[in-house]
Amino acid sequence: MNTRFTPSRLAPAILLLCAAWLSSSAMAQADEARAKKIVGGVCFVCHGAEGESSSEVFPRLAGQHWEYTAKQLENFKTGKRKSTAMADMVAKLTPDEMVALGQFFEKKAIEVEPPKDAGLAAVGKYIYHNGNKYSGLAACASCHGAEAKGTTALPRLAGQYSGYTETQLKQFNLRERTNDNAVMHAIASKMSPLEMAAVAEYLSGK
C-alpha cells in the first residue's frame, strides 16, 4: 500500500489551512476595527485614543493584559466592581467586544516618564521588591513580578499613573473595591499611607 503524500494530496489540506488563516485574520481585523470605533466613540474621552489616559483619575490601559481589561469590563457590567460611570459605559458591550477592546489596548505603548518625586520612588522601590518585615507586608513583586508587568490574571502596574494606583490601594484597604482577589485586601491593610504613595510613585516610572 502506497501511503506517500503527493502534491495532489497535500493541496486540499494546504487550501484548508490557508482558508482558516484568512478567516481568522479577517475576524481579527474586524474585531480591531470594531474596538477602534468603540474607543473613538466613548473610551477616548477618559482613557485616550491610545490608552494613554487623560488624567490620573483614569487608568492607563495601554499595554495592559487584554484578559485583565476584559475581566474588569465584565465586572463593571455585572456590578462586581462598582462604578456608576463605567456601568453606563459598558452596559451595551458584548463579551466579544470586551475582548476586542482589551486586545486593542494591549497593543498600544505608553511613554513612561521618570517619577516626579525620586526620593519617594526610592522608598517605593524598596517596599515593592522587599515588603516590610516589621508590619508583615509581602513584597509586591512576589505577585506582580520584578518588572511589575503582571500576568494575564494580575494587572500590569508598570507605567501606571501614581494617583490612580494609590487610589486603588486605598479602595482595597477600605473594601470599596472587592472584585479582585482577597489577597489585595490583606496587602493593602498592612500598608501605611506613605507606603501606598511611595509604591505608586515608583511604579509610575517603570
Give tens-digit pLDDT for 162-194: 999 999 999 999 999 999 878 999 999 999 999
- For the cut 60, the answer to whether the pLDDT of residue 4 exceeds it is no
CB of 114 closer than 8 Å to CB of 131 = no
CB of 90 closer than 8 Å to CB of 76 = yes
Model pLDDT for residues 44-97, shown as the tens digit of each residue: 999 999 999 989 999 999 999 999 999 999 999 999 999 999 999 999 999 999
Q: Is 105 exposed, middle or buried (0-12, 13-18, 19+ CB in 10 A)?
A: buried
pLDDT for the residue numbered 22: 47
What is the reported pTM?
0.85
User: What is the distance between the terminal CA atoms of the chain, rounded to a whole angstrom?
Assistant: 63
CB of 114 closer than 8 Å to CB of 205 = yes
